[in-house]
Structure 1
Amino acid sequence: MKKQLLVAIALAALTPAALAQTGNSRPQPVVQPHVIPLPADKPYPGTMQLRVDATDVARGIFRVRQTIPVARPGKLTLLYPEWLPGKHAPRGAIAEMAGFKPSAGGKPLAWTRQPTDVYAFDVDVPAGVKSIDVAFDFLSPTRTSEGRVVVTPAMMNLQWEQVSLYPAGYFTRQIPVQLEVTLPDGWTGVAALDGLKISGNRYSYAPTNYETLVDSPMFAGRHFRKWDLGHNVTLNVVADEAQYLDARPDHIARHAALVSETVALFGSRPFDRYEFLLALTDELGGIGLEHHRSSENSRKPDYFTKWDDNDSIRGLLPHELVHSWNGKYRRPDKLWTPDFRTPMQGNLLWVYEGQTSYWDLVLAGRSGMQSKEMILGEWATHAGFYSVQPGREWRAVEDTTLDPVIAARKPKPFASWSRGEDYYNEGSLVWLEADMLIRGATNHTRSLDDFARAFFGGRDGDWGQNSYNFDDVVAALNAVHPHDWAGFLRDRFQKPERLAPLGGIERAGYRLVWRDAPNIFDRDRMAQARNLDLTHSLGMTIDKDGIASAVLWNGPAFRADIVNGSKIVAVDGTSYRRERLEAAIRAATDGKTPVRLLVERGGRYRQIDIAYHGGLRWPHLEKVGDGPDWFDRLLAPRRRL
């Protein structure tokens, strides 16, 4: 006891100064003051002028000139947009910004970048200055290894958040801005901005606010065509070559039916006009991004010219259109932010994206954009995957809503274990279950259609934002059909779940089954990607060169130490071909023969015998019994043109 007391006294005597002399050095943190003004809901004094020269197509450089009014001398903090709506994450392209030069009256101004927020630039404004000029270049990627390509010899995608700054301290909806953009000669540009005036190749728009500007990107191109789809909705298409703009009247009629069916579902339009921006291209980087009065979309060049071969890829435009109601007009309260610096919280993305992923299939079916067989094939593919996805054991769907921030959609070593943005597809299956539960309990007199109209509908032409929370969703569902919706949603979205989300499929009178040939959705997506999806047999996907990817955690390939990047060189001693591998899997169903592979990784070769005898397996949905087909009822058109 005496010894312990002496030790305590000795330790107490060791002050920080004494420790510095007798022990290791121990620094104290430097306190970083809060130096960026928080956004306030007050008008900004003056209108910014934004001028973008987009004519340097050969090098993909956008040259930006911006005039920003100032109210007083001293430090002005300018922000480059960081947290971007629709991307649900801090994805601002700050690394591609170069040559930042502020000035006033032709004289350079001193500036510094804030080291604790690299998106913030502090500019010293002298006394007597009423506005400053800012110049910089946006160096868009010229190859995919640098990022998404947004400029090609035939088209471009102008996203204004990449080519502009805004002053800190204000809600972005309170910052007026007037845009002028110069396009290459002979090009046509489209953006959902008002007051357009065209002089030669110069496009200028009436003043708007910065929030609306960022939400109104432009597609521009050498080869352009547009169609009126009714309801003040226009389909604007740019293509790599003019031949790809050859759409048949039936193709356009189905897009028009999509608009009519969507308006019929929600009962109102949260826009005064809407512009589909569609690029048909192999060169521009792929995109599917929602906005309130427009959407950015890209598909294969032969979207129209090989229409019958492209059923599987026609769900994008329905998805982005639905977002005008679900995501832009009605928005989770933690996903709405007053500026592009405030972090977003995506905990309700299983409504925002999950229910949109449900309606995009339903509306594609009702409008004829996609066939019933393709829609059921897609649900079968998702249901089959979640029936074997091990990551569902530890990670709830709601936790995957953080994946845009955690992973930024980068490739993962074993994605089936870590999970990804599963709130899209698993969300679609859960909302299918909610719909079928309501239909079954009300003898088909009520459905999720009633929820959609009540919850996402509003005043016609209102393109503001109306935020909601979890309790609002529960209350709206209970108004359609009383049920323990809070428990239903928490069980399926907020808790890890080992059972596959098959409730909606089963309530619709179908079941998940396995066959030795792919469903139509799997068949078409493998053809598009030029790969072979063997998730449900060998537990991996193989690309056209025999290289493994998406290895299923604890599947046969995983247990054979095959990882992403491993290359299958030979099957049963003969060079790899898809048909040979499929034949080897069939031969192994005798219960004795292994699937024998020669695998190379990093210059090392291994002979592998995989003891798998279950044959080729792909998921399908199969109707049970002779009762009414609830999927036929679900996908039946609500309004015919």
Structure 2
Amino acid sequence: MKKLLLPTLATLCALSAPNAFADVHYNIKITNAAQHLAEVTVEFPATKSANLDVQLPIWRTGRYEVLNLGKNIRQFKAVNGKGQSLSFAKTDKGTWQVKTKPGDTVKVSYEVYANALGERTQHIDDTHAYLDASGVLMYAAPYRSQAVTVKLDTPSNWVSRSGMDKGNCDHCFVAPNYDVLIDSPIETGEHEFHSFEVDGRSIELAIWGRGNYDGKKMAADLKKVVVETKKTLGEFPFKKRYLFIVHATDNAGGATEHLNSTVIQRPRWMYAPKKEYMGFIKTATHEFVHTWNVKAYRPKEMVPYEYQKENYTRLLWIAEGNTSYLEELITLRAGLQTRDEFLDDLAKALLAYEHQPGRFQQSAAESSFDAWIDAGGERARNASVNIYSKGLLLGNAIDIEVRRQTKGEKGLEHVHQYLYAHHTVDKGGYSEADVRTALKSVTGNDWSQWWATYVDGIGEIPFPELLNAAGLKYLTEAGKDDEQKEEWFTGLRTRDVGDFPMVSEVERDSPAWKAGIVAGDLLIAANGLRLTNKDLNDRLWLNQQTPIKMSVFRRDELKELALTPNKQVKGKVKLKALDEVSDQQKLINSKWLGVDWPSKPAADKGSSAK
């Protein structure tokens, strides 16, 4: 599809008014909610050619995966302005080519089967409808920049909400173009609603589904997130309103950012206690940060979005991974998690990274480019890195290094503030060179070699040195009640299959890898004693004589393999204060985290430095 220039910001604002003339009209009629069915009609203005390609995207923004959304479309029809039928042909998985005449208007209609809640593209049932345009509303490239109206025909007791402006009826919305429409999902149905204001903007919360949540508390804590994110990244990118859509479900989980809203899905019983609730708050923070990082400014390869093909870029580790890091920092600064909780989560991220051999196989830039074909599976940890986890740690590394170079005065947020000021979507987005320029502008130093080593390359991020600059060290702290101070490390990850554990992953170069154990092996016994998944490590520990003779089933055949585990300190990984901490280290730490250095750091007893 030929790239189209997006309208200027001034034009977008003018067209967004409810009384703006709309050239493309959408109508969505919920025809059978219980059976997940709706009928959609789209009216396009007069065409200038003999063919009009009417298209449904093959992916949706925020999820870098081809979803084949056209599979849910049936009963496609097309007529002209006189109601005369027009012939058409489906030319690919997302395109219907309509035969028409220059000067004819075109009206298409089709049935949508909407039962893809977890994809966050469309879902209709007897209590609500969640409608993301990517899975529901077709477009035609010649009219992509034209203003649109959307009208819904719903059950009488439903309420419709969206980040879009309201139209001239309760279930009507308007948008300046298809790009705004596709980034403004609609939630209509029965839901709990709360709202509050921050700096003249209306922030709204719509919750669908029953669960163990407290809507008033959610709204109060989201207000803290909104305030702190603005303080961190700058003025709001949206002009009037922002909508948090929350789905309390039993069969879906995840979240997606949008231009003026977000949708967050969690199991209905995972909003309490605090640990589960913090999972919701951090997810909400992540998606709200995306309002800046991705929606306001993003990699230039994704400006504008190409809806009929993959949008490749080497910078998703910034778009997604830096957002994951900022969610942690903002919830800390907003007072929603403690300093110790932040450091504990960072320590866990470092531990997981230690056990990801794929960091020596794939760079962050390569992982970003390959996100579209990342299939996961048992080899993923050994052969690749993840844009979220690697981008989080790179964001943390950049943050501390910038603080070190600027004596605490600047950090990662200032790099993002630079991108927001100079490389918004209406300016074409940012390139890799633009990010390095932002780093140089903030610190006064050239980052080319750093970038080549840690972003384009697979150099080991120097976390011991970086943490030292912030007065911290990474260690394993033995628990007070641990009778044994050591445990076996095998490199095995397993899952329950009947009565025995089945190997799901084997870490590269670990003892299990060297023993020849592979994913799919069923672990039966160790030195003749039966194994279970529940106490696998404890039972292995009882076998002090090594190597341990492992009995496994592979292809229904019994095999005997020799496993020699490594001993390691038993306990939790921690980030703790150095024995001696200078005023400069304390300054960098407090500026980095946004909270004061503790007056009396806890002693590091029973610990073993890594």
Q: TM > 0.5 between the two?
A: yes
Contact 2:473/2:578, CA 8 A, preserved across alignment: yes
Matched, 1:581 2:536: yes
Cα distance in 2 between the residues matched to 1:143 and 1:441: 46
Q: 1:558 aligns with which of 499, 507, 513?
A: 513
1:480-495 aligned within 5 A:
480-495=442-457
Contact 1:384/1:512, CA 8 A, preserved across alignment: no
Cα distance in 1 between the residues matched to 2:305 and 2:425: 16
From the superposition, tell whether residues 480 and 119 of structure 1 become closer, same or farther in structure 2 (CA, over 3 Å): same
Residue type at the aligned position of 1:423: I
1:4-83 aligned within 5 A:
39=4, 47-54=23-30, 56-72=32-48, 74-83=50-59
Aligned equivalent of 1:240: 209
Aligned equivalent of 1:121: 96
Contact 1:540/1:552, CA 8 A, preserved across alignment: yes
Alpha-carbon shift at residue 89 of structure 1 (Å): 4.6
Matched, 1:366 2:333: yes
Secondary structure at the counterpart of residue 78 of structure 2 = strand
Cα distance in 1 between the residues matched to 2:216 and 2:294: 32
Residue type at the aligned position of 1:625: D
Q: 2:377 aligns with which of 412, 428, 446?
A: 412
Alpha-carbon shift at residue 494 of structure 1 (Å): 0.4
Aligned equivalent of 1:265: 232
Cα distance in 1 between the residues matched to 2:322 and 2:393: 9
Residue type at the aligned position of 1:416: R
Residue by residue over 1:262-288, the C-alpha shift from the partner in whole angstroms, topping out at 9 and shown as x without a partner, is 111123111113434332423353232
Secondary structure at the counterpart of residue 328 of structure 2 = helix
From the superposition, tell whether residues 248 and 305 of structure 1 become closer, same or farther in structure 2 (CA, over 3 Å): farther
Q: 1:455 aligns with which of 416, 419, 425?
A: 419
Alpha-carbon shift at residue 411 of structure 1 (Å): 3.3
Cα distance in 2 between the residues matched to 1:260 and 1:416: 37
Cα distance in 1 between the residues matched to 2:39 and 2:311: 30
Aligned equivalent of 1:538: 490
Q: 1:204 aligns with which of 172, 195, 218?
A: 172
Alpha-carbon shift at residue 359 of structure 1 (Å): 1.0
Aligned equivalent of 1:611: 564
Which stretch shifts more, 100-109 or 396-405?
A: 100-109
Aligned equivalent of 2:602: none
Secondary structure at the counterpart of residue 334 of structure 1 = helix
Aligned equivalent of 1:635: 593
Output the TM-score relative to the length of structure 1: 0.79
Q: 1:164 aligns with which of 126, 134, 137?
A: 137
Output the TM-score relative to the length of structure 2: 0.82
Secondary structure at the counterpart of residue 378 of structure 1 = helix
Query: Structure 2 regions of 5+ residues with no counterpart?
Result: 16-20, 481-486, 597-610
From the superposition, tell whether residues 235 and 490 of structure 1 become closer, same or farther in structure 2 (CA, over 3 Å): farther
Contact 2:502/2:522, CA 8 A, preserved across alignment: yes
Aligned equivalent of 1:622: 576
Secondary structure at the counterpart of residue 428 of structure 1 = helix
Cα distance in 2 between the residues matched to 1:61 and 1:322: 34
Residue by residue over 1:438-465, the C-alpha shift from the partner in whole angstroms, topping out at 9 and shown as x without a partner, is 2223332333333333332589xx9956
From the superposition, tell whether residues 376 and 189 of structure 1 become closer, same or farther in structure 2 (CA, over 3 Å): farther
Aligned equivalent of 2:161: 190
Q: Which has the larger radius of gyration?
A: 1
Residue by residue over 1:540-577, the C-alpha shift from the partner in whole angstroms, topping out at 9 and shown as x without a partner, is 33335544324322323334444444444566634514
Contact 1:150/1:285, CA 8 A, preserved across alignment: no
Contact 1:150/1:157, CA 8 A, preserved across alignment: yes
Alpha-carbon shift at residue 153 of structure 1 (Å): 4.9
Aligned equivalent of 1:20: none
Aligned equivalent of 2:400: 436
Aligned equivalent of 1:218: 186
Contact 1:438/1:448, CA 8 A, preserved across alignment: yes
Cα distance in 1 between the residues matched to 2:124 and 2:137: 17
Cα distance in 2 between the residues matched to 1:454 and 1:393: 31
Cα distance in 2 between the residues matched to 1:598 and 1:196: 68
Secondary structure at the counterpart of residue 390 of structure 2 = helix
Residue type at the aligned position of 1:508: A
- Sequence identity of aligned pairs in percent? 20
Secondary structure at the counterpart of residue 188 of structure 2 = strand
Aligned equivalent of 2:112: 138
Aligned equivalent of 1:282: 249
Residue type at the aligned position of 1:71: T
Residue type at the aligned position of 2:381: S
Residue type at the aligned position of 2:418: A
Contact 2:117/2:123, CA 8 A, preserved across alignment: no
Residue by residue over 1:323-367, the C-alpha shift from the partner in whole angstroms, topping out at 9 and shown as x without a partner, is 111111112111212642364222122222232222111001111
Matched, 1:471 2:433: yes
Cα distance in 1 between the residues matched to 2:243 and 2:382: 37
Cα distance in 1 between the residues matched to 2:27 and 2:578: 61
Contact 2:320/2:387, CA 8 A, preserved across alignment: yes
From the superposition, tell whether residues 622 and 449 of structure 1 become closer, same or farther in structure 2 (CA, over 3 Å): same
Alpha-carbon shift at residue 605 of structure 1 (Å): 4.8
Contact 1:50/1:180, CA 8 A, preserved across alignment: yes
From the superposition, tell whether residues 125 and 391 of structure 1 become closer, same or farther in structure 2 (CA, over 3 Å): same
Contact 2:114/2:123, CA 8 A, preserved across alignment: yes
Matched, 1:296 2:263: yes
Which stretch shifts more, 60-69 or 621-630?
A: 621-630
Cα distance in 2 between the residues matched to 1:351 and 1:140: 32
1:319-334 aligned within 5 A:
319-334=286-301
Alpha-carbon shift at residue 177 of structure 1 (Å): 1.6
From the superposition, tell whether residues 443 and 576 of structure 1 become closer, same or farther in structure 2 (CA, over 3 Å): same
Alpha-carbon shift at residue 209 of structure 1 (Å): 1.0
From the superposition, tell whether residues 585 and 374 of structure 1 become closer, same or farther in structure 2 (CA, over 3 Å): farther
Secondary structure at the counterpart of residue 319 of structure 1 = helix
Cα distance in 1 between the residues matched to 2:321 and 2:231: 20
Alpha-carbon shift at residue 211 of structure 1 (Å): 0.6
From the superposition, tell whether residues 637 and 496 of structure 1 become closer, same or farther in structure 2 (CA, over 3 Å): closer
Aligned equivalent of 2:483: none
Aligned equivalent of 1:112: 89
Cα distance in 1 between the residues matched to 2:465 and 2:188: 45
Aligned equivalent of 1:181: 152
Secondary structure at the counterpart of residue 346 of structure 1 = coil
Residue by residue over 1:412-451, the C-alpha shift from the partner in whole angstroms, topping out at 9 and shown as x without a partner, is 231122214x232222222222222222233323333333
From the superposition, tell whether residues 485 and 219 of structure 1 become closer, same or farther in structure 2 (CA, over 3 Å): same
Aligned equivalent of 1:341: 308
Cα distance in 2 between the residues matched to 1:197 and 1:399: 48
